[in-house]
Amino acid sequence: MGVRALLVTALLTAAVGYYLYTPLPDAIQEPWKLLAVDAGFRTIMHLASLKHWLGLDHSATSIQRSIDGFESTVKSLVGSESSGGVIPGVKVSDVSFAGIPVRVYEPPAGGEGHLRRGLVYLHGGGWALGSAKKGSWDAVNRMVSDELNTVVVSVEYRLYPEVLFPEPYLDCLAAAKHFLSPAVLAKYSVDPERVAVAGDSAGGNLAAAVAQGISMDESVAVKFSVQALIYPVLQALDFNTPSFLQNQHMPILRRDTMVQFWLQYLGADLSLLPQLVANNHSASQHSGITPELRSRIDWTALLPQKFKKNYKPVVVEKGSQEILKKVPGFLDVRAAPLLAGPEVLAKCPRAFIITCEFDVLRDDGLMYARRLQDAGVSVTNEHYEEGFHGSFSFLFWPMDFDVGKRSVRAYINWLQNNL
């Protein structure tokens, strides 16, 4: 091999290594597997952005197609059982609740008069990706139905770019109300005293918001008994919490990506991203953000010292007054459940909240746990020191992580003991 060929090979190797490598904390287990998964996701997103720029396809649609293609390839290679396939005895039906597509998982029928648990599950994906019928969401819901004798309703709510806020929330709320109606619970032999709502990431956002909405709705006789929130996204006024700063470049969810998801969900111009990253939209002089409202997301008061570390609040004095006027969703509790008042939180069901140390959303979950507790709600916070965003979904080869399997088991065990 000539000198030129060696040089080209060395440069290509260095380029691949640079693309793959992101400095990771020592606590992360299986770091090279995480880097490989992250590089795959980033490649999918870059290609989707290119297609969008060329006018060939919408970026969100392109990303979803790529993920679906990858999952289909894995299933064909390893078989459906290894990738969370059919569980004997669990009946799966794709139906509609109040006009919203849902997938219902029913365990084997019990004896005469035997009532089962119920659970409404809302999948994650930044309000733009994912499906109730695919991936780990489908697999975990099958497991819960089978192991806990539970009727699981997984909601196929509409996504960006088809719809914007508040439509996904309204879809989930409508499906939940339908399931909670006495006639439907009776049809599925579900105990009205044992119904949960759960979700991960953006689905955790929707689950928290739906739990609040149901709790405050006097027209709904049956309420949720518990809520399970897996690294939920709960506010969009402070993108400089300690976890957002500490993990801004961490796989699988970087700070800029989370901000972009918010802008898409709320129908805002993506060019606002730098302003949000700088907290210019939540300036101290903004008349729409009262001291009381700001206290509800004040991490300096709500986080334990071990999570605050040496970070300082980023509060802009003047900022941009126009952003919140143009995008009122930033202050809407249906979009940002952490902004809800204590009188609302006090009526919410007891909670299970998973947080991960290396996740930009860690502090959202920790602050919500504290505020629920302050309002008198019982909360179990399962924190993973080696966890990262998305780990709950990484259960099957080749994207299986021990922390993901342990967090799913903790979720199922908590439901077993509390629902």
Which residue numbers are catalytic?
201, 359, 389
Please report, for residues 2, 236, 240, 286, 364, the alpha-carbon distance to residue 291 in angstroms, rounded to integers and kept in the order given: 69, 16, 18, 10, 19
Residue 351 DSSP code:
E
Cβ neighbours, 10 Å, residue 199: 28
Angle (nearest 5°) at CA 18 between 386 and 309: 35
Residues in contact with 287: Cβ distance below 8 Å, sequence separation at least 6, in sequence order: 321
Q: What is the edge-to-edge ordering of all strands in the sheet holding 91-97?
A: 91-97, 100-106, 150-155, 116-122, 190-200, 226-230, 350-358, 379-388
Asked if 211 and 221 touch (Cβ cutoff 8 Å), the reply is no
Please report, for residues 100, 169, 249, 350, the alpha-carbon distance to residue 155 in angstroms, rounded to integers and kept in the order given: 7, 11, 31, 22
Query: How far apart are alpha carbons 309 and 302 in whole angstroms?
Result: 13
The residues with which 227 forms a beta bridge, in sequence order, are 197, 351
Residues in contact with 348: Cβ distance below 8 Å, sequence separation at least 6, in sequence order: 211, 212, 215, 227, 372, 375, 377
Question: What sign has the CA pseudo-torsion 109, 110, 114, 116?
Answer: negative
In one-letter notation, the amino acid at residue 271 is S
Nearest to 106 by CA among 205, 24, 188, 198: 188
